[in-house]
Structure 1
């Protein structure tokens, strides 16, 4: 298999993404993996090769404003959910991906769910890992404080916020070599912190989760909700309530896994995802 780091221009925006090509390509739709806050596509580094090994092309982008993608000024990119949905649609179109299996995680992964609801014909299967999927979901204080005027301006300029948030979401220590990658955008430019601040201020969580709850009541494609049971911010009860409203939806408990499952325990994520993606649709 081949895993590469790519950069593509879509309009005025530059998207960085990690691309995994299988050794033996198949006609299976590609898998697109979307990260949450304040992460980046690097979080999927151990999931991408597992998907490619079983014949899936896998694409994991850095959201605009995150990682090594563009970090435009708020005057040039609104950092609202609607702006992200539109940008994601244009990104996938540029890559020639007209249908995919979508995997979303975390806060901002909710944008992927909005994309799915607005483009259901482009979704083969949908997997949700610890994301705000019900109106009861609340932004944790650890992240919410980053959007407070003045306070947030200072917090989001601290590269160590990545350490505290990723490790606080599951209680596991992230290796220093990996943290170096997560910190790099914040060390390179203050634009990374300003983008994060703008995202948190514009999450519109109540509006977004209301759209998700009502929209998925009429969803038909296969859905997997895999939940890290050590998530301190989004309780398992959200996953239970969500799956109960979708006929045929699968619910998987990832024991000893936190808010960032692909970072905390990728082997469990790989097993669960591959079982779901390889199962024949009836």
Structure 2
């Protein structure tokens, strides 16, 4: 994800004793990334307060590989259920607007400057939302404890090629450091 993964990265950086290793998959890694349209809508004056969540479009539009609409609808389900849709929408809006994306990315980037635990970045190279150059720059800048594997996938390696992503992840988690 664009935002929740940033908070997970911050937790790992602030409490490294809780995380022997960190696995990242297609998440913004440097300041300069902006929110994709379906999320950015929540930051717009007037519109944002009443914006409808479009989780299905966020999932499907960023995906280089064809995601069937029925698969994309799974992401939209909480926002369409009459019992949960308003709470889900408000939770998403609050998450998106609680801290400017640039500030959050800057905080995370700085937190990883001295991070010592092993990090693996599985990167789907056909991500329509994220620039691959920043991924390479971040990995090089953060040093030898950061390894990366480029996968021929879209923005959700775990969805596009679950088997390959899982295999690479397990290899990383089982490796002796």
Fold in common (TM above 0.5): yes
- CA separation in 1, counterparts of 2:50 and 2:104? 27
The 8 Å contact of residues 31 and 106 in structure 2, kept in 1 or not, is answered as yes
Alignment map for 1:1-282 (pairs within 5 Å) = 36=1, 106-157=2-53, 161-188=54-81, 189-245=85-141, 246-255=143-152, 257-281=153-177
Asked if 2 retains the 8 angstrom alpha-carbon contact of 1:156 and 1:196, the reply is no
TM-score (norm 2): 0.86
Shift of 1:162: 2.2
Tell me how far apart the structure 1 counterparts of residues 70 and 58 of structure 2 sit (CA, whole Å).
16
Cα deviations by residue, 1:61-86 (Å, 9 ceiling, x for unpaired):
xxxxxxxxxxxxxxxxxxxxxxxxxx
Higher strand fraction: Structure 1 or Structure 2? 1
Contact 1:230/1:258, CA 8 A, preserved across alignment: yes
The answer to whether the 8 A contact 2:117-2:145 is kept is no
Higher percent of residues as helix: 2
In the superposition, the TM-score normalised over structure 1's length comes to 0.56
RMSD: 1.9
Deviations 1:1-60 (A, max 9, x none): xxxxxxxxxxxxxxxxxxxxxxxxxxxxxxxxxxx2xxxxxxxxxxxxxxxxxxxxxxxx
In the TM superposition, what is the alpha-carbon distance from 1:153 to its structure 2 partner? Answer: 4.0
Figure out how many residues of one structure are paired with residues of the other and give that number: 173
1:147·1:198 contact (CA, 8 Å) conserved in 2? no
By how many angstroms is 1:146 displaced?
A: 3.1
SS of match in other structure, 2:23: strand
Structure 1 stretch displaced more, 119-128 or 164-173:
164-173
Offset, 1:250: 0.6
Tell me: higher relative CO, structure 1 or 2? Use CA pairs within 8 A at least 6 residues apart.
2
Partner Cα distance (1:248, 1:118) in 2? 17
SS at match of 1:124: coil
Question: What residue ranges of structure 1 are gaps of 5+ in the alignment?
Answer: 1-35, 37-105
- Segments of structure 2 that go 5 or more residues without pairing to the other structure are none
After superposition, the C-alpha distances for 1:231-260 in whole angstroms (9 at most, x for unaligned) are 1111111211111122231111011x1222
Post-superposition shift, 1:172? 3.2
* Cα deviation, residue 279, structure 1: 1.0
Quick check: 2:30–2:134 contact (8 Å CA) kept in 1? yes
In the TM superposition, residue 154 of structure 1 has moved relative to its aligned partner by: 4.4
